[in-house]
Amino acid sequence: MRVFLLLGPPGAGKGTQARRLVEKYNWGYLATGDLLREEISKGTPLGNQIQPLVTNGKLVPDELIIALVGTHLQEGRDYLLDGFPRTVPQAEALDQLLRSRKATFKAAFLLEVPEEVLLQRIQRRAAIEGRADDNPETIRTRLQEYHTKTAPLIEYYRQRGLLYRISGVGEVEEITQRIDNHLSTLLKE
Ligand code: ADP
């Protein structure tokens, strides 16, 4: 089992790129944001507990996320992770989980997009998808959460030689190609 990660701020295009890569390589796909929204829409106990946090753009506590991921990662297939890990403790928990399953973390692809472009993209998505957390107040909180809690992962994966910086500006297809260029080498190893 090999694991790849898409890292980057809200609006960087992780979900868009993820769908394309997962289809191309037939990987499993795990997006914690999607899993959490599903729990909320079903009104499960977990969903009710996290609903105010997600709606306000705050991160959900690490323990809840780690438990959720543990139940969704199936053995015996490669995975693309989107939106997890989002904190250093989550990354450490993932490393431990992967060790126990004899799996390898292969690469973290960091999608880099200037902040003004992020804001434009999220506003457009808000108009199209109507996500409850795509409003100006919440977007500010999500970007703050990213800078304080998630951005340290850039250094975490860089130190381990696992970080690949990808410009997230340009056509969707072009950005996929940038990631693919690295994958063609990584998948041969
Ligand atoms: P985006 O990347 O656009 O912010 P996501 O769909 O990945 O959107 O996440 C939406 C929300 O779900 C986050 O703002 C946060 O509240 C919660 N969330 C998702 N993944 C995690 C995580 N790994 N740890 C904590 N909270 C998370």
| Of the candidates 34, 103, 45, the residue with the CA atom closest to the CA atom of residue 74 | 103
CA 128 to chain centre: 21
Would you say residue 153 has pLDDT above 90?
yes
- Is residue 31 within 8 Å of 82, Cβ to Cβ? yes
Is 50 touching ligand 1 by the criterion CB < 6 Å? Answer: no
Question: Which amino acid does the sequence have at 122?
Answer: I
Lookup result for tokens 């808000």:
126
133 band by pLDDT with thresholds 50, 70 and 90: confident
Rounded to an integer, the average pLDDT of 156-172 is 98
- Model confidence at 45, pLDDT cuts 50, 70, 90, reads very high
Whether the pLDDT of residue 87 is over 90: the answer is: yes
Q: In angstroms, what is the span from residue 189 Cα to ligand 1's centroid? A: 31
pLDDT, tens digit (0-9, with 9 covering 90-100), for 61-84 = 999 999 999 999 988 899 999 999
Q: Is 33 in the pocket of ligand 1 (CB under 6 A)?
A: yes
